[in-house]
Amino acid sequence: MADVTYISPEIMMEGTLDVTSAKGSTVILAGRFKGEMRAVDVKLETGSTFNGKIFAHSTEVGGKIIGDIETKSLKLTSSARFEGSILTDELAIDVGAEVSGSISKLQKN
């Protein structure tokens, strides 16, 4: 459990969060975050608010985001509210999700 970074519902974080080291790689956001987030797995829970940029391997969104996501696979659940640009290879959008912005494929390295 010490490897997971969990941001609880009441909290507000502002800044950069980098979770790309070998020890831990998962971020679960239930609160509010403003800034830049780098991780392997990112989960934005229902009720969370994110403002900024996400770089991740896989991302699941159930909250509200304004900003950019760059991720290999992205899932927007029915409670997701998204505004911004998406760069991804695999995309799933559930019925009910509100998405506005641009969607494009990740560039091959």
Partner 1 sequence: MAEKMTTIGAGAHFKGKISNASTIEVSGIVEADVATEKLTINESGKFGGSIHSKLVVVSGSYDGNMVADSVWLMPSSRVSGEIKYKSLQLDRGAALNCRVIQNWDEKAPSDTEASASEDAKIAATSNKNNPEVKA
Tell me which residues touch partner 1 (CB under 8 A).
Answer: 1-27, 31, 35
Nearer to partner 1, 9 or 96 (CB): 9
Contact 36, 19 (CB under 8 A): no
Residue 47 corresponds to which tokens in the numbers above? 């009720």
Nearer to partner 1, 25 or 85 (CB): 25
Q: Least distance in Å: CB of 82 to partner 1?
A: 23
Q: Least distance in Å: CB of 74 to partner 1?
A: 21
What radius of gyration do the chain's Cα atoms show? 13
**Residue appearing with tokens 């091959």:** 108
